[in-house]
Amino acid sequence: MVSAWLSGLGIALPPSAVQEDLWEGYFAQHYTGARRALAKRIFTNSGVRTRQAVVSPLLEDVSGWSTERRMRRYQVEAIPLGKAAVGRALADAGIAADELGLFAVCSCTGYATPGLDILLARDMGMSPSVQRLFIGHMGCYAALPGLGTVSDFVVARGKPALLLCAELTSLHLQPPGTRTDIQQIVSHALFADAAAACVVTPSASGGLGYAVTEVAAVTDTTTADHMTWEVTDAGFRMGLSPQVPAVLAAHVRKLVDDVLARRGLRVTDVDGWAIHPGGPKILDVVQEQLGLDDAALAASRGVLASYGNCSSPTVLLVLDALRRRKDPPRRIVMLAFGPGLTLYVTLLEGLTLGA
């Protein structure tokens, strides 16, 4: 029987900056009056120490750019970043680009045609017959439906597939405006850029070795306006309600319990947690609802501190941190959240479990 095995993972990051330097060197001047004091508290309490950007506000202020100009820059910056992540994932899995049957790309921060799926397939030497899929505007949780889709392809076709998540949130720095907008301040304090790619194969191979055994989701459409990502004339604008953690609290335990029950498992049977670090409060809520100790959240909090919230690649950054531990977890639950409000969960089970 053909299964879907997560066999390779590759990460690519642009240059990093210290959060305090970003505040002192740019954002302290971006906000004025009472907004500055509020913004300072938000930046200080964001849980972020360093984060990376293809366009650093310390060097180049894009807040006044048109959306057209931002999209042109997206293509310039995303191609080499995506190429690096894809190359590392293929090397980790031990397969060649022309062996892929499907190449899927997730991104909500830039659009162009021909897109990354076409240009990277060409540049990386993928077969002309490779199937391609672009998953756009799903937001922070997109890696998990993306992983589910490529896994289904692998099981159905018996061919390897690759998923790339590439986000350049730095291109969507918003102008200061004339009103206090806490949602934009939070966005400016948290978000960063990254690319992460993973290879899924029909048999266990490469440097990772986890079977993708369950993928599930729940969407609370009554709270659809709580998280938005709107295209404006000045880039894409984030809407982020402070009620998001409360919505997650209402759904996360049941979703996780239901998925684990399909495999005859409970929360205590899981030794690895890759939880999307949307912000400190989100991690606090998930930890409380699942009854997890601090060690279970260490990888997620570490990624938030070191890399910020990179949207769709972030949960894969957490997975990478888990697999690099001296004693990697055997069973991993991946959780990510985004517009909808939507919660996605994926269960990975390692070779030693006989998955």
For tokens 């295209």, name the residue.
231
165: annotated active-site residue:
no
How far is 51 from 304, CA to CA, in rounded Å?
Answer: 9
Catalytic residue (one of 108, 140, 165, 198): 140
Torsion of CA 318, 320, 321, 324, to 10 degrees: 160
Phi and psi, residue 136, nearest 5° = -115, 150
| Residues with active-site annotation | 140
